[in-house]
Structure 1
Amino acid sequence: MRRLPPSEATGLRTGARHSLAELYRPADLVVLGLGVMIGAGIFGIAGQQAAGTAGPGVILSFMIAGIACLLACLCYAELSSTMPTSGSAYTFTYVIFGEVWAWIIGWALILELQFAAAVVARAWGAITVRAISDFGVTLPRERLVEDLLVFVILVLLTGIVALGARIGLRALWIMVAAKLLAIGAVIVVGLAHVDVANFGEFYVPPKTLPTPPATVLEIFVGQSQAFGWFGIFAAASAIAFAYIGFDIVATSAEETVNAPRAVPKGMIRSLVIATIIYLAVAVVMVGMIPYTKISMDAPLSSAFREIGVDWMVHVIDVGAVLGLTTVILVLIVGQTRVLFSMARDGLIPRGLASVSRRYHTPSRVTLVIGLIAVVLAELVPVLMMQELVVIGTLFAFLFVAAGVIVMRRRMPHLERGFRVPLSPLLPALSLVATLWLMVNLRVLTWAWFVLWMGFGLAVYLVYGRRHSLLAQPRHPVEASRGRHRRWSGPAS
């Protein structure tokens, strides 16, 4: 239960040759957040949830989901402003709750980010093949082409991240700007074809579905339901998953100029902007055609075809491909920083915490992450396991919200660049909202998550507990070439 001292959480510890260079400014963090929060889902999730779960009330679902995520974001903002380090929730937990809990959160973040990169890459391949087909190009052996595209995009983006954060940031700015233009076109053109009558009264009478209960909540309720207020809140749970990603902004804290103030602003602003954009697309989606006519396969594309604006299908395809590209890029960056921090603490092999002298990035761990993502995307049916990404994220949300409450009591003296208002009320509400999202996940997802965490705990007991930097005898070393190291343990 040993805890990392707060002074060491933001100090340079051994295992890294030198610190990560400061690169990001507030505007960059907003782009980072939009890069991961706005993917291809923005063109489909509103229509899918309207057609099958909430009806026109899906607009209320987006508002509810935005509020739930904002509560979690505020908690992340306070902890990031207090401990601006690349470890994010993993390091916060290390300081507040102790090493074994930090390992558990780090293991959950590995599940979130590593699986997410593979899942999104797989989806990127399928959407890219569909986009090519929509342009009238016939592809022989589509599955083989899709596999090749997935391999190429993962290798390309891993290379960009490994070669330097500045290169990745420039590429991110260009792609985010392009996909925002595509989304802007969808909103502007769609608004011109909105029929107010399609919104109805927002509330659709509830109905019981013939399918057996699958989520934890449905088991307690005893049946599967859709529409009504139950459907609106159930859709909010699904929609909240689209907003997830703002937490990855926290992993860039160590590389951010004036991080205690810049990181909270970047996270909150990116989440607010993403929420507004999602709401706008939802209004367009529901307003263009009645929710009963929305296609579940390609909601927005089919809606534009329904109203006779076929050329918008190509805009949506381009936006979806660009959207998923930026998501993969940011996920690789986030995963790199989390594993870098865990290696620097000795919980995983410390050789992964080395920073390239030439590229000034943790390129070794980046290449490992890219290789694992390729193997998962090509050999594992990751699309069937995408809820594992969500449960790993939400598990970290729980500890961050609880961490704000506990840290206020245990460490009130720590300087904070941002404070959650109305604490402990808002962090407690964040805990409740996160638990609500978690009980809307399938029982099978919970089972796989428990197995993953059990395996992770075994890894910690066998390796991490004994190799942890806090378990090693320490001795101070002199600074070298201006790169200050606080402590140095024995070479691994």
Structure 2
Amino acid sequence: MSILSRAFKRESVNNYIAADSHMQRVLTTKDLISLGVGTVIGTGIFILPGHEAAEHAGPAVAIAFLIAAVFSGLSGMAFAEFSSAMPVAGSAYSYGGVIYGEIIGWLLGWSLIVEYFLAVSAIATGFSAYLGNLLTIFNIHMPKALMAGPMEGGVVNLFAMLIILIVAAILSRGLSTSKKIENGAVVLKIVILALFIIGGSFFIKTTNYVPFYPKEFHSGLGGLNGIWAATASIIFAFLGFDTIAAHAAEVKNPQKTMARGIVGTVIVSALLYTLFSIVLTGIVNYKKLGVDDPAAFALQVVHQTQFSVVITVGALIGMFTAVLALVYASSRLAYSFGRDGLLPSSLGRISKGSHLPVNALIVAVVIEMIFAGLIPLSTLASLINAGTLVAFMFINFGILILRRRKDLAHDGFKVPGYPVIPFIGGLLSLFFISQLSTETLKMFGIWLVIGIIWYFAYGIKHSKMS
């Protein structure tokens, strides 16, 4: 067998199921929606609406969020079908290995490393910024040396590292403890967001909606490039639902539960994001919203300072749940690599006592803490969308192959409108990749090259398939 044929050899889904059999199936639909919403309603809702309104779309940012939600819904259905047919850990990495061959699965997993690992660090950095702002309200001023990494004139972002460490301590206590904390925090976060949407609606000035899509953002085909650019950036906000697929090996009745969890996450998140954006741009003119805490800023503009503290607390809870869900997913991804031998096999070991991939959790947390402590949010966020969109593209197109595989027939959820809907989802993914900045695409290209070198230098020799 040539090295190229070996690289494209497909994994057996039965091997994955057997390898994951030591993990406990304890997660329900409610738990999955909580994990998904906990991730989606994080840094995205508390930072992105303001920046995208100011820089790309004006009040039409609500339309961009709605488009991103519809697109994410299409991709979410594709992930739901895959996780129903293959209830295994690893998300797009495992699916890619079965459908396209090991090297494509590896590169999808390599893309997910960017998505999960950097997203944890990016959200932890956002958490640190919000916590710093909250402390200043109470006249507590942290030295810059402990609030920013060396690239921003500090030494280390201490709060960003500490929140990841706290989350790791919670996860190490097992699924039962972590899911209870996640479920409770998500409910509290949704209540605070509802208060902003309902209370903020009384301060809306309709003049702030005019023009709804400002002329300075009109460019490209039909003058809609501003909305498309905002949508491409907003995809980062919806990365939570695909992390649900990473937990398929720990879900009760995955054939039904996975689809309900993913679709439920998309619906709840789309509703909250769209309403939040409408209220936000109605309270304050879009030109003033280019700040990192737009909701708190908007409430201060209308002299609701005390309520802005509540929103800041809500943002901290939101980012905490996002970090919790993403550390959870990233550790399962690292476990999957170790399980298959593409990274050191010690990562694929399951602790007999806790039934958790402890080694994978430790490695994921250490890497994420280093990134969060030393690298600024803007640098981290630039690569996340690229990794997400590449995974979306392959999984949407992968449905076309999955349905033809007689050995993968399943009775669970299936994407409606086959083959049109998954094909459209794949094309939209490709289109949004083209809307990313040239610098981001170059950085992501370099990351993929590193992944290819690692695969042929280490992975192909140590893979369980070898």
Say yes or no: TM over 0.5.
yes
1:438 aligns with 2:433: yes
Secondary structure of the residue that 1:311 maps to in structure 2?
helix
Matched-pair contact (CA < 8 Å) for 2:83–2:248: yes
- 1:184 equivalent to 2:179? Answer no
Partner of 2:317: 322
- Structure 2 residue aligned with 1:87: 90
Where do 1:124-163 residues align within 5 Å? 124-134=127-137, 136-144=138-146, 147-163=157-173
Specify which structure has the higher proportion of helix. Answer: 2
Q: Distance in 2 between matches of 1:397 and 1:450?
A: 17
Task: Output the CA distance in 2 between the equivalents of 1:296 and 1:149.
Answer: 20
**What does the per-residue CA deviation read over 1:281-316, in whole Å, with 9 as the maximum and x for residues that have no partner?**
111112223334445343222221222212121012
Quick check: 1:115–1:382 contact (8 Å CA) kept in 2? no
Hey, what's the Cα distance between the residues in 1 that align with 2:133 and 2:213? 34
Where does residue 271 of structure 1 map in the other structure? Answer: 266
Residue in structure 2 matched with residue 468 of structure 1 by the alignment: 463
| Contact 1:81 1:259 survives alignment (8 Å) | yes
> Aligned partners of 1:374 and 1:207: how far apart in 2?
37
The equivalent residue for 1:117 is: 120
Residue identity matched to 1:192? F
- Residue matched to 2:31: 28
- Higher mean C-alpha deviation, range 291-300 or range 191-200: 291-300
Q: Give the alignment partner of residue 50 of structure 1, picking from 50, 53, 78.
A: 53
1:167-182 alignment runs, 5 A limit: 167-182=177-192
**Closer, same or farther in 2 for the Cα pair 1:304/1:24, shift >3 Å?**
same
Q: Kindly indicate whether the alpha-carbon contact (under 8 Å) linking 1:122 and 1:383 is maintained by their aligned counterparts in 2.
A: no
Q: Is the 8 A contact 1:163 1:363 kept in 2?
A: no
CA distance in 2, matches of 1:397, 1:411: 23
Distance 1:117 1:282 in 2: 24
Letter in 1 for 2:413: F
Greater mean alpha carbon deviation, residues 82-91 or residues 144-153: 144-153
Stretches of structure 1 that go unaligned for 5 or more consecutive residues are 209-217, 472-492
State the distance in 1 between where 2:284 and 2:448 align.
Answer: 44
Task: Between 199-208 and 277-286, report the one with greater CA deviation.
Answer: 199-208
Instruction: Tell which deviates more after alignment, 424-433 or 282-291.
Output: 282-291
Residues 360-385 of structure 1, C-alpha deviation per residue, up to 9 Å, x if partnerless?
Answer: 21111101111111222223445423
Of the structure 1 ranges 291-300 and 265-274, higher mean CA displacement relative to structure 2 is found in: 291-300
Deviation of 1:435 after TM superposition, in Å, equals 1.5
- Contact 1:295–1:302 (8 Å) recurs in 2: no
CA contact (8 A) 1:162 1:362 kept: no
* 2:139 partner SS: coil
1:301 maps onto 2:296 in alignment: yes
d(CA) in 2 for partners of 1:319, 1:403: 38
Give the Å deviation of 1:418. 0.7
Distance in 1, matches of 2:346 and 2:297, equals: 50
Give 1:244 shift. Answer: 1.8
Report the equivalent of 1:393: 388
CA distance in structure 2 between the partners assigned to 1:91 and 1:230 by the alignment: 35
Give 1:412 shift: 7.4
Amino acid across the alignment from 2:402: M
| 1:102 equivalent in alignment to 2:109 | no
Q: Would you say the 8 A contact 1:354–1:364 is kept in 2?
A: yes
1:247 to 242, 246, 254: 242
Are residues 459 and 57 of structure 1, via their aligned partners in 2, closer, same or farther at CA, if it must alter by over 3 Å? Answer: same
The Cα shift of 1:401 comes to: 0.7
| Matched residue, 2:153 | none
Which position in structure 2 is the counterpart of 1:257? 252
Say which is worse superposed, 299-308 or 359-368, in terms of deviation.
299-308
Equivalent position SS for 2:185: helix
| Alignment partner of 2:213 out of 203, 208, 216 | 203
Normalising by the residue count of structure 1, what TM-score does the alignment of the two structures yield? 0.87
**Aligned in 2, Cα 1:297/1:126: closer, same or farther, shift over 3 Å?**
closer
Question: 1:408 and 1:427 mapped to 2: Cα distance?
Answer: 11
1:489 alignment partner in structure 2:
none
Q: Which of 381, 396, 414 matches 2:409?
A: 414
| Residues 1:202 and 1:444: Cα distance change in structure 2 (over 3 Å) | same
RMSD of equivalent CA atoms: 2.1
Quickly say closer, same or farther: Cα 1:113–1:63, change in 2 above 3 A.
same
- Counterpart amino acid of residue 257 in structure 1: K
Q: 1:114 to 1:40 in 2, by over 3 A?
A: closer
The answer on 1:12 being equivalent to 2:14 is: no
Partner of 2:72: 69
Q: Which of 357, 360, 367 pairs up with 1:362?
A: 357
The higher radius of gyration belongs to 1
Aligned length: 451
What SS does structure 2 have at the residue aligned with 1:269? Answer: helix
Q: Secondary structure at the residue paired with 2:22?
A: coil
Structure 2 letter corresponding to 1:397: F
> How far 1:445 sits from its partner (Å)?
1.3
Shift in alpha-carbon separation, 1:61–1:356, aligned structure 2, 3 A? same
Of residues 203, 218, 240, the one that matches 1:193 is: 203
Mark the CA change 1:377 to 1:50 in structure 2 (over 3 Å): closer, same or farther.
closer
Distance, in Å, in 1 between the alignment partners of 2:439 and 2:99 is 31
Counterpart-to-counterpart distance in 1, 2:201 and 2:50: 15
Calculate the TM-score normalised by the size of structure 2. 0.92
Secondary structure of residue in 2 paired with 1:386: helix
Partner of 1:487: none
Selected match of 1:2 from 4, 9, 12: 9
Q: How far apart are the structure 1 equivalents of 2:29 and 2:428? A: 28
* CA distance in structure 1 between the partners assigned to 2:464 and 2:257 by the alignment: 30
Contact 1:43/1:316, CA 8 A, preserved across alignment = no
Same amino acid, percent of matched pairs:
30
Distance 1:347 1:140, change over 3 A: closer
